[in-house]
């Protein structure tokens, strides 16, 4: 039976003619994109015709293949020219469109103070209104300022590498090496201040601190604000009055707080200060570990040995000290947790502040 030879070349010319007409009539870039896919795509009309070459004779294939390549180039050129024409027409239309001067202008997006810094600034504002000075110090600190002068014994757990980021040991020939570390609290600033000044003094020291710690309410790097007073006849009642005034000024007059006996090497006696959890209203949640209370700061009367270490006579002068994490205060202030939320730089979150 004789093989039927289809008029393939006529189909190819018909495809070319139809495609050119549609390209000329295309009204948008999307139309041209669809035409390119329909005619020149992997499943397009031209590809379908090329698959029929297997049914052609050896004499027909070269001429058909050559013409198919010519058609492909012709269609691609036509699409490119039409894209240029449409772009020029669009630019002309935009240029001819009158400018509406009554439309509001496009304002540049402006930044704002990070919520942690807003909280820290407010804390500083409250304490400076009580007469405190602000002091800062290095974040890479010597062991003696971070531990030794603050009455930390050599075997204290905080000196363990699992709790503290130690950096290196430095020292000159013939001298004992000195440990360098990322400060674990801002109390070294208090030591430096007491070394340089004479009492009476009131100082707060805000800044970043570092510890091996990470969970819903802790981070390896966080902000802390510590403060102290050295004066004559300073008592535990002064400490309680100061911290109660701060908490109620920051959180509102209805804020509930409690003092619990505790221990810190650099204060004696020492106390933890808790505030009723504002996330759960005291009912118990993950953040407050179902207790209804959240620890916000540690405090106490400055240990006499710490005063002696910086040349202050504890028989003549007394003082108190306190320290609190800014992130912890921010969690309570805004009702947001975990702590990582404040550190992820998610603009959707930050825009709320």
pLDDT one-digit tens code per residue, 253-293:
878 889 999 988 899 999 999 888 776 777 777 767 788 88
Pairing of strands 221-231, 318-325: antiparallel
**Residue 2: inside a domain, yes or no?**
no
What value does the mean pLDDT take over residues 33-62? 85
Confidence band of 243 (pLDDT split at 50, 70, 90):
very high
Residue 18: CB atoms within 10 A of its CB come to 12
**What's this model's pTM, rounded to 2 decimal places?**
0.64
How confident is the model at residue 48, as a pLDDT?
Answer: 86
For 168, the token pair is 């290196």
CA neighbor of 60 nearest in space, from 25, 22, 106, 8: 8
What value does the mean pLDDT take over residues 208-236? 83
How confident is the model at residue 111, as a pLDDT?
Answer: 79
Which has more pLDDT, 112 or 157?
112
- Is the model's pLDDT at 66 over the cut of 90? no
Residue 246: CB atoms within 10 A of its CB come to 22
**Close Cβ partners of 65 (under 8 Å, ≥ 6 residues apart):** 50, 53
Q: Which range is least confidently modeled, 80-84, 102-106, 210-214?
A: 210-214
Classify residue 174 as exposed, middle or buried by CB count within 10 Å of its CB (0-12, 13-18, 19+).
Answer: exposed
Q: In what helix (H) or strand (E) does residue 205 lie, and over which residues does it extend?
A: strand 201-210
* Preceding amide of 352 cis, omega within 30: no
Mark whether 27 and 137 lie in a shared domain.
Answer: no
**Residue 181: inside a domain, yes or no?**
yes
Mark whether 76 and 148 lie in a shared domain.
Answer: no
Mark whether 85 and 234 lie in a shared domain.
Answer: no
User: C-alpha distances in angstroms, 248 versus 28, 181, 205, 256, 269?
Assistant: 65, 35, 21, 8, 23
Confidence band of 96 (pLDDT split at 50, 70, 90):
low
**Residue 104: inside a domain, yes or no?**
no
- Is the model's pLDDT at 330 over the cut of 80? yes
Mark whether 274 and 180 lie in a shared domain.
Answer: yes
Asked if residues 79 and 36 have their Cβ atoms less than 8 Å apart, the reply is yes
Residue 73: CB atoms within 10 A of its CB come to 10
User: C-alpha distances in angstroms, 249 versus 119, 127, 307?
Assistant: 13, 10, 30
The string of pLDDT tens digits covering residues 120-150 is 999 999 999 999 999 999 999 888 898 889 9
Q: In what helix (H) or strand (E) does residue 325 lie, and over which residues does it extend?
A: strand 318-325
How confident is the model at residue 170, as a pLDDT?
Answer: 62
CA neighbor of 219 nearest in space, from 116, 322, 346: 116
Confidence band of 215 (pLDDT split at 50, 70, 90):
low
Which has more pLDDT, 168 or 249?
249
Cα first-last separation, the chain: 84
d(CA 166, CA 263): 24
- Is the model's pLDDT at 7 over the cut of 50? no
d(CA 128, CA 125): 5
Choose the most confident range, by mean pLDDT, from 3-12, 56-65, 171-180, 225-234: 225-234
Mark whether 38 and 130 lie in a shared domain.
Answer: no
**Residue 206: inside a domain, yes or no?**
yes
Helix, strand, coil shares of the chain, percent, nearest 5, are 45, 20, 35
DSSP H stretches of helix in 26-161 = 29-40, 45-50, 60-96, 115-129, 143-146
CA neighbor of 179 nearest in space, from 196, 207, 210, 154: 154
Positive/negative CA dihedral, 280, 117, 196, 129: negative
Mark whether 275 and 312 lie in a shared domain.
Answer: yes
Mark whether 242 and 342 lie in a shared domain.
Answer: yes
Which has more pLDDT, 113 or 135?
135
Confidence band of 218 (pLDDT split at 50, 70, 90):
low
Name the DSSP class of 161. Answer: T
Residue 34: CB atoms within 10 A of its CB come to 14
Name the DSSP class of 182. Answer: E
Number of domains in the chain: 2
What is the CATH classification number for the domain harbouring 268?
Answer: 3.30.930.10
- Is the model's pLDDT at 168 over the cut of 60? yes
**Residue 98: inside a domain, yes or no?**
no
Mark whether 121 and 75 lie in a shared domain.
Answer: no
- Is the model's pLDDT at 161 over the cut of 80? no
**Residue 109: inside a domain, yes or no?**
no
Mark whether 44 and 137 lie in a shared domain.
Answer: no
**Residue 97: inside a domain, yes or no?**
no
CA neighbor of 246 nearest in space, from 190, 185, 323, 353: 323
What value does the mean pLDDT take over residues 221-243? 92
**Close Cβ partners of 153 (under 8 Å, ≥ 6 residues apart):** 265
Confidence band of 323 (pLDDT split at 50, 70, 90):
very high
Mark whether 289 and 196 lie in a shared domain.
Answer: yes
Mark whether 204 and 269 lie in a shared domain.
Answer: yes
The string of pLDDT tens digits covering residues 18-32 is 888 988 888 888 888
Domain that holds residue 69: 9-52+64-92
Mark whether 270 and 302 lie in a shared domain.
Answer: yes
**Residue 214: inside a domain, yes or no?**
yes
């Amino acid at each position: 039976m004789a093989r039927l030879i289809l008029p393939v070349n006529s189909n190819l010319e018909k495809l070319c003619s139809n495609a050119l007409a549609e390209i000329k009539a295309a009204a948008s870039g999307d139309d041209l994109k669809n035409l390119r896919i329909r005619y020149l795509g992997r499943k397009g009309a031209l590809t379908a015709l090329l698959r029929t070459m297997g049914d052609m004779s050896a004499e027909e294939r070269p001429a058909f293949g050559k013409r198919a390549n010519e058609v492909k180039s012709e269609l691609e050129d036509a699409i490119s020219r039409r894209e240029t024409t449409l772009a020029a027409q669009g630019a002309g239309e935009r240029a001819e469109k009158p400018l509406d001067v009554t439309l509001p202008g496009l304002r540049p997006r402006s930044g704002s103070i990070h919520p942690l810094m807003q909280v820290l600034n407010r804390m500083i504002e409250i304490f400076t209104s009580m007469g405190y000075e602000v002091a800062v110090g290095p974040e890479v600190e010597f062991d003696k300022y971070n531990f030794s002068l603050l009455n930390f014994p050599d075997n204290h757990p905080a000196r363990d590498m699992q709790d503290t980021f130690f950096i290196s040991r430095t020292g000159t020939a013939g001298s004992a090496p000195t440990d360098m570390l990322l400060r674990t609290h801002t109390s070294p600033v208090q030591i430096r201040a007491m070394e340089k000044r004479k009492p009476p003094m009131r100082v707060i020291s805000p800044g970043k601190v570092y510890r091996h710690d990470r969970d819903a309410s802790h981070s390896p790097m966080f902000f802390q604000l510590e403060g102290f007073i050295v004066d004559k006849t300073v008592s535990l009642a002064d400490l309680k009055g100061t911290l109660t005034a701060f908490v109620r000024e920051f959180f509102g007059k209805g804020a509930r707080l409690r003092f619990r006996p505790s221990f810190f090497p650099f204060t004696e006696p020492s106390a933890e200060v808790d505030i009723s959890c504002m996330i759960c209203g005291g009912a118990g949640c993950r953040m407050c570990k179902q207790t209804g209370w959240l620890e916000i700061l540690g405090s106490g009367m400055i240990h006499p040995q710490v005063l002696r270490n910086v040349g202050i006579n504890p028989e003549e002068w007394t003082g108190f000290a306190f320290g609190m994490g800014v992130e912890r205060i921010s969690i309570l202030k805004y009702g947001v947790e975990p702590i990582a939320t404040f550190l992820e730089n998610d603009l959707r979150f930050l825009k709320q502040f």
